[in-house]
């Protein structure tokens, strides 16, 4: 896999690792705040993304990571882990 950190117009998301049990894949939970269209209350939404990484054992559950959108790697996986905080 080549270094694809220079893709233009790709999403950058920040979240926490919730699973590292797959080979070369980590599951990242990304939280966002959305405003309810009618009532105006802000609601916290979470979504899980599968992200590609060469060594999934290097990431522990609870680590803060930044993921970047890339070409489809598999059916569910279309993000790469870029940095760790």
- Rg of the chain's alpha carbons, rounded to an integer? 14
- pLDDT tens by residue, 13-44: 999 999 999 999 999 999 999 999 999 999 99
CA 46 to chain centre: 11
Whether the Cβ atoms of residue 58 and residue 51 lie closer than 8 Å to each other: no
Neighbour count for residue 29 (Cβ, 10 Å): 13
Query: Which residues, listed in sequence order, are joined to residue 54 by a DSSP beta bridge?
Result: none
Model confidence pLDDT, tens digit, residues 39-70:
999 999 999 999 999 998 999 999 999 999 99
Report the predicted TM-score, pTM, of the whole model to 2 decimal places: 0.85
Rounded CA gap, 17 and 30, in Å?
Answer: 9
**CA-closest candidate to residue 65, choices 12, 25, 15, 11:** 15
Domains and CATH numbers, the chain: 12-51+62-84 (2.40.50.140)
């Amino acid at each position: 896999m080549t270094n694809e950190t220079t893709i233009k117009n790709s999403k950058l998301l920040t979240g926490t690792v919730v699973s590292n049990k797959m080979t070369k894949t980590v599951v990242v939970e990304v939280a966002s705040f959305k405003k309810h269209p009618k009532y105006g209350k802000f609601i916290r939404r979470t979504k899980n993304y599968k992200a590609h990484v060469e060594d999934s054992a290097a990431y522990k559950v609870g680590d803060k990571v930044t993921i970047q959108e890339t070409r489809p790697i598999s059916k569910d996986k279309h993000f790469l882990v870029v940095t760790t905080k």
